Amino acid sequence: MATFFGEVVVAPSRAGVDDEEWAEDAREETPEDREIRRELEKKRYGEIDVLWSLKSGASSESSAAQPFVCSQFIVAIGHNAAAFLSSFILDSVCWEVVGVVKLWNEWCRTSNTTNVLPTDSFCLFYRLISDPTVLLCQCSCYVAEDQQFQWLEKVFGCMQKEGLQVTILSTCPVADYKTQESTLTLPAPFLKALKTKEFKEQICCPLLEQPNIVRDLPAA
């Protein structure tokens, strides 16, 4: 049960599966199946690595002892948001690639190379050359639900939290937007915002109305 608006909850469902059928499926798992499942889980949890190249072009893992200063961190999650950054912000020589994320799950295979095609599912970090404290992240790869906490822990674990402002850009289908108006009259695309109580500046668009929610990695 959600205790307040905006809380991220996970509601497991076994709809259409009775207890006997579920128990029968559980009994059918062989030792080989369990071993394969354990190996897959181990690979999922062990294959999220953040590699930075902030010093002399040499890569270093996110477990660096000294967190670096970051004043603005803009994260674009999903293909549409990442494409927006590419078209309107990164289309200049003002940015340099300073980091990548290695990620493995059933829907995503990435590596630690930064030489990727625009069509590849990937996660890259850019730094503003004129102000190194401003970072962008293009996350067009899928981050599974059970990997989101680790993704956040490793990405934000190498940044100083004091004075850090984080902006998340994401998209969702218009069909998922809940409103009393007809969605046919809505402009496409349109922009809504959510903010924390710590954000005191003026927002550039109306706030997202209840009962609409944000899901997955943007919510995390």
The pLDDT value recorded for residue 95 is 92
3-state secondary structure of 175: helix
- Least Cα distance to 134 among 86, 89, 71, 81 occurs for 71
* Whole-number Å distance between alpha carbons of 155 and 170: 18
Section 112-138 average pLDDT: 76
Paired tokens of 153:
């822990």
User: Which pLDDT belongs to residue 138?
Assistant: 92
Report yes or no: 170 and 77 within 8 Å, Cβ to Cβ.
Answer: yes
CA distance 116 to 86: 14
As a whole number of angstroms, the distance between CA 201 and CA 141 comes to: 31
Long-range contacts for 193-200 (Cβ within 8 Å, ≥24 apart)?
A: 194/6, 199/165
Q: What residue ranges do the domains of the chain occupy? A: 45-54+66-169
Residue showing tokens 């550039």: 204
Cα dihedral 131→148→217→180 (10° resolution) = -150
Q: What is the pLDDT of residues 45-69, one digit of tens each?
A: 556 788 888 653 434 444 445 778 8
